[in-house]
Each structure stands twice: as C-alpha cells, then as structure tokens.
C-alpha cells in the first residue's frame, strides 16, 4: 500500500490520520474535526485501514474495544448466573445433580440444571468466552500499540499550527517572547520533571510517556496468565489427588508414581477452650459453641529408594517429619500436601468377652482388628472363638437369610461367632452386631459381651502439584505493573511555538485533565505565555 | 484485656460522633458565600476535615486496640470487616479531599460511612477466635487490601452520586429521577434495618421455630424480629408470638429474608415520611447541597478514584486472594461465590475503564456506572456472605 507523504516531508504508513511528525491532518475527516481525537495519536491502525479479506474482518472484529467490552460484560453476566445456585462442585457428592437441583430448588433448579448452569464454569461456551477475551486482548493490543509507538517516537518538537489548534487545551496570543521568558518556563518545567526538547524556538515538554504503555503491558500479563491457566489441563502439569490416610498407616502418595510415601503418625482436631484460651474469646465461644482451633496431621515423608528396581519391595527412607496444618502444607519435590478434611473416630478394633450367661463368668477376651480379623481366637482351657462371618458395614438380613454388608469399611461391624467351651466343644453360634445379639440356631449358654472399642482418625490430604504457578505469578506481576503504570502516571505534553509573531500553546494528557491544568497554570503563571484554555464542553 | 476491648469500643463510638460532627461542618462549608462567588476551601471546611481526620485516628485506635486484644487483625467477621471498610472509605475520602479540597465530598461520603458503621454494629460484636483457615498472615494482607481498594472505589460512587444529584433535572419525573430515588431509598432502607434491629433487640423479642431444613432434617431457629415469613414447615414453639404469614421453601433462609423484608418496609415507611413531610423527591431535597459543584471536576474525581482504587482492588481482591487460596484451600481459584463476585467486580471496573478510555463515556453515563460498581461491591460484601453461602461465610 502506498505510504502517505506529509507536506512536512515525513513519510507516514498508509492509513495515518495525523502526521506522525508534525501532526498535520492527513485525512479530510480529520481536517474537519473541531478537536483531534488524540487517543492513539491519529496513527495508522490496521483495523481502521484494511477491510477486504476474511483475515481483515476477523482482525477488525477482535480489535474493536466495543467487542472487547461486550465480551467482558457477557463473562460478567455469565459468572453471576453461576452463583445463583451452588455449582455441581459444591453440592453433596452422594446425590445425583439431576435430582438434587429440582428437589432443592424446585422448577427454577430444574431449569438451572437443564440449561447446564450447574457446571457453568466448565462449559464450552464459558471457556469459549474467556478464550475470545484472550484473542481480543492480543489483537486489540497489537492493533494499537505498534502505530502508537511509531507516532510517539516520530513526533517532532514543532507541531503544525492546525494540530495545536485542535488540541483540547489551547491558547494563542500575539506576543514576542523574550529568551529569558522561555528559560524561566523551562526551569519550572524541569523542576516538575518534564523532559524538554527544543527546535528553532519551539518547545516540547513531555513526561510520563511510559504510562501510555501501561494498558499493553497489563494485557501482556493477562495473556500470560491465561496461557498459564490453559497449560494446567496439559499432561503432567497439574495433579489433584486425595489421600485418605488413617493414623498409623503408611501409604504411597498418589500422583508421585510410587516415589513418595507418607505415614500418618497422628491426626488431631483441637477446639478453642473457654478456660485456657484468651479470655476475650469467651463470649464468642459461648454464643457459637465449639470453634475449631487446629486440624493437624503429624506426618512422616518417605522416599522409596528401590523405585527404579522392578519387582523390588519398597525401601522407605525417611525424608522429613512435619506437621501438616491448614495454611501450612507439607512441601516436597514439586508437590504440596494440604490438610483438607478428616473423618473422626473410625472404628479400628472391638473387644468382646466370652461369658457364661448364667454365671456371668468371663472365660477370656477377644480383640478383633476390624481391618484384619483373625479366623480363630484361642482363649485356652478349651475356650475358643471362631469368626464364621464378618460384616463390616452391616445392613440387615438379606432375602436369602444372609446378613448383608454395605461396604468393606467398618462403619457398623457385625459378626457371626462360633463360641467353643468345655460344655460345648462343637460350638454355639451367636450373631453379634452393635446393640443387637441374635441366636439364629437356638439359644446359647455363652455370649459375646461387648467390652470396648478402639477408634482412630482418618486424615484427608490433598496432593497437589501445579507446575503452572510460576507462569501465573509472572503473568499476575506483569499485569499489576502494567495497571499501576497506566493508572498512577499520566502522559503529559506541553507545546509552545512561535508562528508569525504569535505564541501558540497547546497541551495534551491521556487522563486527569484537572491535574494537567493545575500544573500548567503554576508553570505559566506570571509569564507572557498564555495559559491554554479548555476548548471542550 | 477487657479494658482494651472497652477502649476499642469507645474509640469506635468516638469516631462515629466525629464523622457526624464533621458532616455538619462540611455542610457549613458548602453554603454559598454572600457575594455569590464559587468558593475554595473555607474555615468551615478546614474544621470539617480536621474533625474527620481526628475521627479517622480514633477509628484507627479502635482497630489497633482491638487487634491488640484479640491477637489478630479485626477483619475476621462481618462486624469487623464492614467497620474496616468504612474506615477505608473515610481514609480514601481524606486522601481525595487533600487532592481536590472539595467539602461537598464530605457531605456525602461521611454520612455513607456513618450508615455503614451503624449497619456493621448490628452484627455480633464479640471477638471471635480464628478458625484454622484464617490463621495466616494473609488474612491481614488480603483483607485489608481488598477493603482499601473497595473504600477508594466507594469514593467514585460518592462523586458519581454528587454528579447525578446535581445534573438530574428534578423539575419533572424521568427514568433518572426514579433510579436516583431508588439509590436514596436503599440508603434509607439501611437506616430502616438499623432501626428495626435495634428496636427488637432492646425489647428482647424471641420466637423459636422448629422446622425442616434444606437437608430434610429437623432444626431449630430463633427469630429476634416478628416473623412475617417463617421457615420451611415451621412450627412456632414460643407462646404468644407472631405467627408467620407464609412459610418459605427450605433453600431460602427465612430468618434473613424476614429481616430484609422488615428493613425494606421500615425503609419504605421512613422514605414515605420524608416525601410526605417535604413534598419533594429526596434527590430534589439534597440538590441544594450540590448547587456550587463543578460537574466536570466531580466527573474527574469519580474517574480518578477508580483509577486509584482499581489496582489496589486487583492486588487485594484477586492477586493476594489467589495466593492465599493456593495456600489455605489448595487451589488459587475455585469458583467460590465470593471469588466469582470479586471477579465480577473486577470485570465491571475493567469494562468501565474501557468504556471511558475508548468509548468516551464521560459525565452522566460514567456516574451511573460508578453507582453500579458500588452496588456490586455492596452485593459482594453483604449478600454473598449472607445469602449465598460459600467458603467465605464466616459471620
């Protein structure tokens, strides 16, 4: 495409509106403007110049700030819809979402579910919206930043009179300026940290140009952040596993490919104590009841040295011992273990006494490990107990007359015991469950009396590896730098020119006009140079 | 120990009084001068800002004595957080005041701060110990930064509101006057809430209900305000108390809805009285206060406050929030309702900045947006904690 040569001799890219160098209006529209649109310095933006091929059209669509704002607003509305009812993630995990929403929230819940709002943030269209924002960020920025950079780099000190007249702050006065007058103003401008350039009696004072790059810097940060978030779904970057571990257990840590093992020495839940903890909490504790003070897993981390030997048994070497608490994860290698949840007082072992019903005499005690019960327990002197059947999660008698178990976990253990005694060497049968004893094959002389229970806690730890965090961190940091750069600094320029015995003064800022006016007032006060006036509004 | 708590409470009370007094001085400062000139800062304004600064120092005193008493920054429940937010609002006002020297900002900002403090005091005020998730330095860093950001953004609402009060034509009814009245009514409804809660708390009203909760289990709830709406399949246990007119479905928290209804009704009553007595829209009633306001400047203040507040909010509400969420909840982002609403707030102000910078939305449009932004902040501050239960519902 043909370049545009300005009267001043500067060659501008095709599509330029105001000459990069002298600021002359190059298009008819710009010549007619009352005030120049200085947002992008009248530079040649691709989106405003080409509109032929399909690529142009896509480019122009995404480079539009209007489209960008619509994408932001749509994402905003969609996000808020997702908070009307709890997301799938937050509903109890033992119910089916299909029935849950309708049962809990009625028709509105059913509609919510049917439209897929119960899992909104993972829906294709929501992710599509975010992706579109990402594309818009890239194209919007590229479309503007390059021409803007060119325009600011090529700007000349002496701007054309027409350019100056069409600035929002402008003044014109017939006057011949004395050199010392200019010097005085220059000193004042310098003390306000302006960068000053001069060219045959014309002056350009400029500061804070770098704030113009703020928006583009923060967009780069956002793009990096979005890329980081995208990478999370790629293989090996992200691990999200749960480790339920009982006190005393040593388990392989899922996600570490068998390299690391963890032992749970002890799991503690501690509540605040009205007596021991600071007195100021007393009222609150009385009002709300118990408040948890600490969840803690005393853990030992091991590494399997034999991991690389196929078929070899794990050889665990202790790496470290740590207390895992909420807010204090255990970190190792690229992983972190977080205290997430727990289950308290899981039954571990039950103790029974074999006793004669009539004499109440104990023949001996049996302690049954609920995870690994023995087949027989020999109590000596002809007394013996055999476990014929074990139902860890007893759920009544089935239609076939056999006791049923819901799960292999000892939530409600029940036993079918065979009790041997000198009186009954062939054994008597007793079915013993919690608070329930049945004698299915006739009354017995002996019984299994419940004596005690051993429990232990289970700690639930989240195993997390997230290799994208540093990318997100960099993206976030760049975003913050860009936002601060753009928000806390202003790009201010003041032009002073003498044309044919007249003094032209114009000023521009990208924002905070009030501040610019005040600053210019204090600089030009008491000089022969006229203070530029606001031509807008 | 309890001495400190006592002191802390007194200091908060003192700051409340100071803000009230300062409001009147600022009110004096904006009276037109006899010669009809637009005025710069005058003596009334100087006294006003001095009193406001003393009030702010008193509130800082409240904050730090309470911190000393509890061992953690008092930002861990609704009372503490909302109070802290009001302090940040006043702090932001003071900063903006020294930038622009506009007493009229004080006339609007301080009453809003007063209403917010009064609102905060309706929640349980005792010092609660920290649950494990909150035991972190990030509590101080994250929460204080968020509140600071929101406080600054609230100033943009104040400036926007002043702009609207000044520019909306009150000579005839229009869409704008109706919306403006709605804002005024909302502020009055908060006062209504305070009045209702205080009245029934003082009278010691208690009505116990047995009801069936969301999980289909039997539960109990005590209402401290007569129940217009009752809980799901609720049965009034306390004798001689007001029977609810209608029961709510299980997923609605009837107690909170009831309080809301009462507040709205009390607000409507108050608002109606004001309208009846003055025979004016509230917008028209306060309009004389802003007679001398330079609208361009107010527009600029509103925009400036957003420019200052947006980075602070981003840092506190998103970046620090994500860092802490990664430490405490194992993931930096989990679509918890409070997180989502922080994102919504952020997206909204991002849209605002784009509209302003690229689409040239100035003046009235920009002022309305500043109002909407504040509504979103308030929604996140209050409704998300009280209505949409999530990980953040501590109070």
pLDDT for B35: 54
Region A337-351 average pLDDT: 90
Q: Which residue has the tokens 């976990």?
A: A409
When comparing pLDDT for A459 and B238, which is higher? A459
Task: Give A247's contacts (C-beta < 8 A, 6+ positions apart).
Answer: A264, A265, A266, A267, A456, A457, A458, A459
Angle at B86 between CA B82 and CA B87, to 5 degrees: 115
Task: Give B40's contacts (C-beta < 8 A, 6+ positions apart).
Answer: B101
Residues A431 and A356 reside in one and the same domain: yes
Taking an 8 Å cut-off on Cβ atoms, the answer to whether B335 and A89 are in contact is yes
Ramachandran bin of B246, using left for φ above 0, alpha for ψ from -120 to 50, beta for the remaining angles: beta
Into how many domains does chain A fold? 6
Residues A203 and A218 reside in one and the same domain: no
Taking an 8 Å cut-off on Cβ atoms, the answer to whether A83 and B347 are in contact is no
CB-closest option in B303, B328, B359 to A66: B359
Look up the domain containing A53 and give its range: 45-152
> How would you label A489-513 residue by residue, b for 16+ Cβ within 10 Å and e otherwise?
bbbbbbbbbbeeeebbbbbbbbbbb
- Measured in degrees and rounded to the nearest 5, phi and psi for residue A318 equal -65, 130
Region B167-174 average pLDDT: 92
Taking an 8 Å cut-off on Cβ atoms, the answer to whether B340 and A488 are in contact is no
Closest chain A residue to B357, measured at CA? A39
* Four-CA torsion B300, B368, B161, A518, nearest 10 degrees: 0
For chain B, say whether A80 makes contact (Cβ under 8 Å). yes
Contacts with B, A 92-121, CB within 8 Å: 92, 104-106, 121
- Residue A71, token pair as written in the block: 């994408």
Q: Which residue has the tokens 């209608």?
A: B246
Residues A421 and A356 reside in one and the same domain: yes
Lowest pLDDT segment from A270-279, A497-506, B318-327, B378-387: B378-387
- Residue A360, token pair as written in the block: 């109440």
Task: Give B383's contacts (C-beta < 8 A, 6+ positions apart).
Answer: none
Give the pLDDT band of residue A469 (cuts 50, 70, 90): very high
Q: Above 70 in pLDDT, residue A197?
A: yes
Residues A278 and A252 reside in one and the same domain: yes
CB-closest option in B300, B331, B354 to A68: B354
* Cα–Cα distance for residue pair A438/B240, rounded to 1 Å: 51
Q: Above 60 in pLDDT, residue B302?
A: yes
Residues A183 and A142 reside in one and the same domain: no
* Cα–Cα distance for residue pair A244/A224, rounded to 1 Å: 35
Taking an 8 Å cut-off on Cβ atoms, the answer to whether A72 and B135 are in contact is no
Residues, chain B: 395
Q: Above 90 in pLDDT, residue B260?
A: no
* Cα–Cα distance for residue pair B23/B340, rounded to 1 Å: 36
Picking from A336, A459, A471, the residue whose alpha carbon sits closest to that of residue B330 is: A336
Lowest pLDDT segment from A185-189, A440-444, B96-100: A440-444
Residues in chain B closer than 8 A to A73 (CB atoms): 347, 351
Three-class secondary structure assignment of A86-123: CCHHHCCCCCCHHHHHHHHHHHHHHHHHHCCHHHHHHC
Give the pLDDT band of residue B299 (cuts 50, 70, 90): very high
Region B149-167 average pLDDT: 96
- Residue A302, token pair as written in the block: 């091991």
Is A269 inside a domain boundary?
Answer: yes
Q: What is the DSSP string of A38-78?
A: -TTTT---HHHH--SSHHHHHHHHHH-HHHHHHHHHHHHHH
pLDDT for B40: 55
Q: Please answer whether residues B372 and B348 qualify as being in contact, where contact means their C-beta atoms are separated by less than 8 angstroms.
A: yes
Percent of chain A residues past pLDDT 90, beyond the cut: 50
Taking an 8 Å cut-off on Cβ atoms, the answer to whether A487 and B251 are in contact is no
pLDDT for A397: 82
For chain B, say whether A87 makes contact (Cβ under 8 Å). yes
Residues in chain B closer than 8 A to A79 (CB atoms): 340, 343-344, 347
Strand (E) or helix (H) holding B243: none
Residues A351 and A447 reside in one and the same domain: yes
Contacts with B, A 212-241, CB within 8 Å: 215, 240
Give the pLDDT band of residue A193 (cuts 50, 70, 90): very high
> How would you label B151-182 residue by residue, b for 16+ Cβ within 10 Å and e otherwise?
bbbbbbbbbbbbbbbbbbebeeeeebbeebbe
* Cα–Cα distance for residue pair B114/B181, rounded to 1 Å: 20
Q: What distance in Å separates residue B240's CA from the closest CA in chain A? A: 25
Give the pLDDT band of residue B393 (cuts 50, 70, 90): low
CA distances from A29 to A16, A289, A344 (A): 12, 73, 76
Taking an 8 Å cut-off on Cβ atoms, the answer to whether A293 and B344 are in contact is no
Taking an 8 Å cut-off on Cβ atoms, the answer to whether A80 and B250 are in contact is no
Residues in chain B closer than 8 A to A66 (CB atoms): 359
Give the pLDDT band of residue B155 (cuts 50, 70, 90): very high
Residues A310 and A233 reside in one and the same domain: no
Residues A277 and A359 reside in one and the same domain: no
pLDDT for A1: 60
For chain A, say whether B71 makes contact (Cβ under 8 Å). yes
For A224-250, how does the pLDDT look when each residue is reduced to its tens digit (9 = 90+)?
A: 999 999 998 888 899 999 999 999 999
For chain B, say whether A55 makes contact (Cβ under 8 Å). no
Q: Above 60 in pLDDT, residue B34?
A: no
Please state, as a whole number, how many other Cβ atoms lie within 10 Å of the Cβ of residue A203. 23
* Cα–Cα distance for residue pair B108/B302, rounded to 1 Å: 13
Q: Above 60 in pLDDT, residue B394?
A: no
Coil, helix or strand at residue A529: coil
Strand (E) or helix (H) holding B47: helix B43-70
Task: Give A66's contacts (C-beta < 8 A, 6+ positions apart).
Answer: B359
Q: Please answer whether residues A410 and A393 qualify as being in contact, where contact means their C-beta atoms are separated by less than 8 angstroms.
A: yes
Mean confidence (pLDDT) of chain B: 90
Taking an 8 Å cut-off on Cβ atoms, the answer to whether B311 and A272 are in contact is no
Q: Above 70 in pLDDT, residue B20?
A: yes
For chain A, say whether B40 makes contact (Cβ under 8 Å). no
Residues in chain A closer than 8 A to B214 (CB atoms): 104
CB-closest option in B132, B331, B384 to A325: B132
Q: In a 10 Å sphere around its CB, with 0-12 CB exposed, 13-18 middle and 19+ buried, how is residue A330 labelled?
A: buried
Give the pLDDT band of residue A80 (cuts 50, 70, 90): very high
For B372-387, how does the pLDDT look when each residue is reduced to its tens digit (9 = 90+)?
A: 999 999 998 887 777 6
Q: Above 60 in pLDDT, residue A445?
A: yes
For chain B, say whether A276 makes contact (Cβ under 8 Å). no
3-state helix, strand, coil in chain A (%, to 5): 35, 35, 35
Residues A323 and A272 reside in one and the same domain: yes
Please state, as a whole number, how many other Cβ atoms lie within 10 Å of the Cβ of residue B224. 16
Q: Please answer whether residues A441 and A400 qualify as being in contact, where contact means their C-beta atoms are separated by less than 8 angstroms.
A: no
Q: What distance in Å separates residue A224's CA from the closest CA in chain B? A: 14
When comparing pLDDT for A439 and B391, which is higher? A439
Q: Please answer whether residues A220 and A482 qualify as being in contact, where contact means their C-beta atoms are separated by less than 8 angstroms.
A: yes
Three-class secondary structure assignment of A273-296: CCCCCCHHHHHHHHHHCCCEEEEE
CB-closest option in A72, A106, A488 to B350: A72
Give the pLDDT band of residue B395 (cuts 50, 70, 90): very low
Residues A280 and A222 reside in one and the same domain: no
Strand (E) or helix (H) holding B304: helix B295-313
pLDDT for B173: 92
Q: What distance in Å separates residue B100's CA from the closest CA in chain A? A: 9
* Cα–Cα distance for residue pair A285/B41, rounded to 1 Å: 50
Q: Please answer whether residues A74 and A66 qualify as being in contact, where contact means their C-beta atoms are separated by less than 8 angstroms.
A: no
> How would you label A428-454 residue by residue, b for 16+ Cβ within 10 Å and e otherwise?
bbbbbbeeeeeeeeeebebbbbeeeee
Which residues lie across from A365 on neighbouring strands? Answer: A353
Signed CA dihedral, B60, B63, B68, B71: sign only: negative
Region B72-82 average pLDDT: 91
pLDDT for B392: 57
Taking an 8 Å cut-off on Cβ atoms, the answer to whether A76 and B304 are in contact is no
Taking an 8 Å cut-off on Cβ atoms, the answer to whether B307 and A484 are in contact is no
For chain B, say whether A73 makes contact (Cβ under 8 Å). yes
* Cα–Cα distance for residue pair B287/B289, rounded to 1 Å: 5
Is A40 inside a domain boundary?
Answer: no
Which ipTM was obtained for this model?
A: 0.90
Highest mean pLDDT among B3-7, B34-38, B84-88: B84-88
Which residues lie across from A336 on neighbouring strands? Answer: A331, A464
* Cα–Cα distance for residue pair A376/A263, rounded to 1 Å: 30
For B223-244, how does the pLDDT look when each residue is reduced to its tens digit (9 = 90+)?
A: 888 988 888 888 888 888 888 8
Residues A193 and A253 reside in one and the same domain: no
Lowest pLDDT segment from B28-37, B120-129, B207-216: B28-37
Task: Give A145's contacts (C-beta < 8 A, 6+ positions apart).
Answer: A213, A216
Q: Above 80 in pLDDT, residue A215?
A: yes
């Amino acid at each position: 495409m043909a370049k545009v040569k300005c009267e001043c001799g500067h060659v501008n890219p095709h599509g330029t509106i105001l000459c990069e160098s002298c600021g002359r209006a190059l298009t008819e529209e710009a010549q007619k403007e009352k005030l120049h649109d200085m947002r992008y310095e009248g530079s040649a933006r691709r989106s405003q110049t080409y509109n032929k091929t399909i690529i142009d059209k896509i480019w122009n669509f995404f480079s539009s700030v209007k489209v960008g704002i619509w994408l932001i607003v749509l994402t905003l509305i969609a996000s808020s819809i997702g908070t009307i009812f709890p997301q799938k993630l937050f509903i109890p995990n033992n119910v089916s979402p299909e029935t849950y929403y309708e049962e809990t929230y009625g028709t509105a819940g059913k509609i919510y579910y049917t439209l897929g709002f119960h899992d909104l943030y993972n829906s294709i269209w929501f992710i599509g919206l975010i992706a579109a924002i990402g594309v818009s960020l890239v194209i919007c920025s590229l479309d503007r930043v390059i021409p803007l950079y060119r325009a600011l780099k090529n700007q000349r000190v002496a701007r054309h009179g027409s350019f100056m007249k069409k600035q929002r702050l402008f003044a014109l006065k017939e006057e011949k300026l004395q050199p010392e007058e200019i010097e005085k103003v220059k000193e004042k401008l310098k003390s306000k940290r302006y960068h000053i350039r001069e060219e045959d009696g014309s002056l350009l004072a400029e500061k804070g140009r770098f704030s113009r790059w703020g928006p583009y810097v923060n967009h780069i940060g956002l793009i990096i952040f979005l890329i980081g978030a995208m990478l999370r779904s790629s293989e090996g970057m992200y691990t999200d596993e749960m480790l339920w571990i009982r006190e005393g257990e040593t388990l392989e840590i899922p996600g570490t490919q068998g390299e690391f093992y963890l032992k749970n020495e002890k799991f503690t839940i501690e509540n605040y104590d009205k007596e021991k903890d600071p007195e100021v909490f007393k009222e609150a504790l009385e009002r709300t009841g118990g408040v948890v003070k600490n969840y803690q897993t005393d853990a030992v981390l091991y590494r399997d040295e034999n991991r690389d030997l196929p078929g070899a048994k794990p050889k665990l070497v202790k790496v470290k011992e740590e207390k895992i608490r909420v807010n204090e994860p255990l970190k190792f290698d690229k992983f972190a273990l977080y205290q997430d949840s727990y289950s308290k007082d899981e039954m571990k072992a039950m103790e029974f006494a074999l006793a004669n019903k009539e004499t109440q005499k104990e023949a001996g005690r049996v302690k049954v490990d609920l995870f690994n019960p023995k087949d027989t327990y020999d109590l000596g002197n002809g007394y013996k107990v055999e476990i014929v059947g074990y139902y860890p999660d007893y759920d009544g008698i089935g239609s076939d007359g056999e006791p049923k178990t819901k799960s292999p976990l000892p939530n409600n253990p029940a036993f079918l015991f065979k009790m041997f005694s000198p009186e009954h060497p062939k054994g008597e049968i007793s079915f013993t469950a919690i608070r329930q004893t049945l004698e299915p094959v006739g009354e017995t002389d002996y019984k299994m009396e419940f004596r005690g229970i051993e429990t232990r806690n289970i700690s639930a730890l989240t195993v997390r590896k997230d290799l994208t965090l540093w990318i997100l961190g960099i993206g976030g940091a760049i975003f913050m730098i860009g936002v601060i750069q753009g928000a806390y600094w202003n790009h201010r320029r003041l032009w002073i020119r003498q044309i044919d015995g007249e003094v032209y003064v114009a000023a521009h800022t990208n924002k905070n006009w009030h501040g610019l006016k005040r600053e210019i007032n204090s600089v030009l006060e008491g000089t022969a140079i006229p203070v530029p006036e606001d031509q807008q509004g | 120990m309890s001495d400190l708590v006592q002191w802390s409470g007194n200091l908060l009370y003192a700051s409340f009084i100071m803000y009230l007094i300062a409001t009147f001085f600022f009110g004096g400062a904006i009276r037109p001068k006899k010669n009809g000139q637009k005025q710069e800062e005058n003596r009334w304004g100087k006294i006003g800002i001095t009193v406001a600064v003393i009030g702010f120092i008193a509130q800082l005193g409240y904050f730090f004595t309470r911190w000393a008493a509890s061992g953690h920054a008092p930002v861990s429940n609704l009372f503490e957080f909302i109070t802290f937010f009001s302090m940040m609002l006043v702090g932001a006002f003071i900063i903006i005041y020294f930038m622009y020297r506009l007493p009229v900002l004080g006339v609007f900002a301080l009453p809003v701060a007063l209403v917010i403090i009064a609102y905060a005091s309706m929640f349980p005020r005792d010092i609660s110990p920290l649950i494990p998730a909150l035991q972190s330095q990030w509590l101080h860093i994250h929460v204080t930064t968020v509140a600071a950001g929101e406080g600054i953004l609230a100033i943009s609402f104040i400036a926007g509101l002043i702009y609207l009060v000044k520019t909306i034509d009150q000579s005839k009814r229009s869409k704008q006057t109706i919306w403006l009245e709605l804002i005024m009514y909302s502020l009055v409804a908060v006062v209504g809430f305070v009045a209702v809660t205080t009245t029934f708390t003082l009278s010691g009203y208690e009505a116990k209900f047995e009801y069936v909760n969301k999980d289909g289990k039997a539960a109990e709830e005590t209402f401290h305000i007569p129940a217009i709406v009752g809980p799901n399949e609720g049965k009034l246990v306390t004798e001689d108390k007001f029977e609810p007119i209608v029961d709510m479905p299980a997923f609605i928290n009837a107690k909170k809805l009831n309080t809301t209804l009462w507040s709205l009704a009390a607000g409507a009553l108050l608002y109606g009285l004001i309208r009846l007595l003055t025979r004016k829209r509230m917008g028209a009633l306060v309009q004389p206060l802003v007679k001398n306001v330079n609208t361009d400047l107010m527009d600029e203040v509103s925009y400036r406050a957003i420019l200052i507040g947006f980075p602070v909010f981003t840092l506190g509400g998103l970046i620090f929030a994500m860092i802490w969420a990664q430490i405490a909840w194992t993931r930096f982002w989990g679509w918890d309702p409070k997180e989502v609403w922080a994102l919504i707030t952020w997206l909204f102000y991002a849209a605002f900045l784009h509209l302003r910078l690229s689409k040239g939305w100035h003046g009235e449009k920009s002022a309305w947006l500043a109002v909407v932004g504040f509504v979103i902040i308030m929604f996140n501050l209050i409704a998300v904690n009280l209505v949409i239960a999530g990980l953040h519902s501590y109070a």
